[in-house]
Structure 1
Amino acid sequence: MTDFDDLVGRVVTRARTDSGELPPPVGAEEIAAAEAALGLTLPPLLARLYREVGNGGFGPDYRLFPLAGEGRTAVGLYHLELAGCADSTRPHWPAGVLPILDWGCGMYAAVDCTDDAGPVLLFEPNPVDSDDNWKDAWFLDSGSLAEWLEKWLSGTGWFEEDSYEKGDPEEPQPWPPAAARLTAAQPAAAQPAAARPAGARG
């Protein structure tokens, strides 16, 4: 299992420098309650951030959402995005992808919770010209949450204002699984018969 002690320690130091007083971290029971509400298991590093750094309020730009609690939270926004897909034959948001940060202008950073490494995705809906093209709104920002945090800590992420002074930052690339993951998120009645679980009825 990957040891994130050094990385989490550096995140704590940076978070306290940037944010001053942070929201208190959440406990194991709150993590378990959030996972039950989401129907997901948080990638280990993401769970540690909420347990050991704070309940949001740190990270790049507008900073991470609280996991749960009052106001805009990762749990609440996940349910909101999936609810927006419930009656759509062209869902825009894949199951298992948790929004963690608002970049503004409708864009989110999100973590793919179906992978323990926690790949970080960029949801950028602005160039999408029709509901048939939601796959074009999804980009792979970093192959893991650890990699994404390292970019933030080193000031080399595309989202850092002075990153271009340090070289050419790695730009998010189209997320190859987007089409398949969005198809899987369609309501069962809207999926082709061959895509439904065995024995399912339309």
Structure 2
Amino acid sequence: MTDFDDLVGRVVTRARTDSGELPPPVGAEELAAAEAALGLTLPPLLARLYREVGNGGFGPDYRLFPLAGEGRTAVGLYHLELAGCADSTRPHWPAGVLPVLDWGCGMYAAVDCTDDAGPVLLFEPNPVDSDDNWKDAWFLDSGSLAEWLEKWLSGTGWFEEDSYERGDPEEPQPWPPAAERLAAARPTGARG
């Protein structure tokens, strides 16, 4: 297992600088209840962020959603997105991908919880012109949550306001397993 102590410490420092007072972190029981509600185990670094930094309220731009609790949460949004796929032969949201941040305009940052590294994905539905093309809405933002956080901490992510003025920011690339993961999300017996 990778040691994330330094990274988590830097996230705490930046979060307190940016956000001031943060929501309290989730407890072990709250984390276990959220994972049970999701039917997923969070990648280790994501679990540590919610346990040691705060229940959302930190991170790039609009900041991470609370994991669970009142209002708009990662758990609630995950269930909402999957419910929107329940009867669809062309689901738009793959199982195991947890929305963690709202970029606005229907776009989300999401963590692939099927991989312990927690690849960070970008869901960008705006250019999708039909239900047949949902795979085109999914991009790999960073190969791991740690990499994504490092980009935020260093101010080098594509999402930074002045990143384009400084040169060529690394833009998210299409997520190769999108079509396969979305096909696996189809309801049993659905054809498409």
> Same fold, TM exceeding 0.5?
yes
> Which one has the largest radius of gyration?
1
- What's the secondary structure of 2:121's corresponding residue? strand
CA offsets per residue over residues 83-138 of structure 1, 9 Å max, x none?
00000000000000000000000000000000000000000000000000000000
Shift of 1:201: 13
Shift of 1:195: 11
2:93 touches 2:185 (CA, 8 Å); kept in 1?
A: no
- What's the secondary structure of 2:61's corresponding residue? coil
Shift of 1:163: 1.7
Shift of 1:172: 0.2
CA distance in 2, matches of 1:2, 1:81: 31
Shift of 1:164: 2.6
- What's the secondary structure of 2:108's corresponding residue? strand
- Is the alpha carbon distance of 1:120 and 1:194 closer, same or farther for their aligned partners in structure 2, counting shifts above 3 Å? closer
The gaps in structure 1 that reach 5 residues or longer are 183-192
1:156 touches 1:166 (CA, 8 Å); kept in 2?
A: no
CA offsets per residue over residues 48-93 of structure 1, 9 Å max, x none?
0000000000000000000000000000000000000000000000
- Is the alpha carbon distance of 1:194 and 1:104 closer, same or farther for their aligned partners in structure 2, counting shifts above 3 Å? closer
Moved more, 28-37 or 162-171: 162-171
Shift of 1:168: 1.6
- Is the alpha carbon distance of 1:162 and 1:39 closer, same or farther for their aligned partners in structure 2, counting shifts above 3 Å? same
- Is the alpha carbon distance of 1:165 and 1:102 closer, same or farther for their aligned partners in structure 2, counting shifts above 3 Å? same
- Is the alpha carbon distance of 1:195 and 1:114 closer, same or farther for their aligned partners in structure 2, counting shifts above 3 Å? closer
1:65 touches 1:101 (CA, 8 Å); kept in 2?
A: yes
- Is the alpha carbon distance of 1:178 and 1:75 closer, same or farther for their aligned partners in structure 2, counting shifts above 3 Å? same
CA distance in 2, matches of 1:53, 1:45: 11
Q: CA RMSD in A?
A: 2.7
Q: Please, what TM-score do these two structures have when normalized by structure 1?
A: 0.90
2:91 touches 2:185 (CA, 8 Å); kept in 1?
A: no
- Is the alpha carbon distance of 1:107 and 1:30 closer, same or farther for their aligned partners in structure 2, counting shifts above 3 Å? same
Match of 2:92 in 1: 92
- What's the secondary structure of 1:58's corresponding residue? coil
- What's the secondary structure of 2:164's corresponding residue? helix
CA distance in 2, matches of 1:46, 1:165: 31
Alignment of 1:53-72 (within 5 A): 53-72=53-72
CA distance in 1, matches of 2:171, 2:190: 41
Match of 1:155 in 2: 155
CA distance in 2, matches of 1:81, 1:31: 21
1:119 touches 1:143 (CA, 8 Å); kept in 2?
A: yes
CA distance in 1, matches of 2:77, 2:55: 15
2:109 touches 2:120 (CA, 8 Å); kept in 1?
A: yes
Shift of 1:166: 3.5
- Is the alpha carbon distance of 1:200 and 1:177 closer, same or farther for their aligned partners in structure 2, counting shifts above 3 Å? closer
Q: Runs of at least 4 residues of structure 1 off by over 3 A?
A: 193-202
Shift of 1:165: 3.7
Shift of 1:162: 1.4
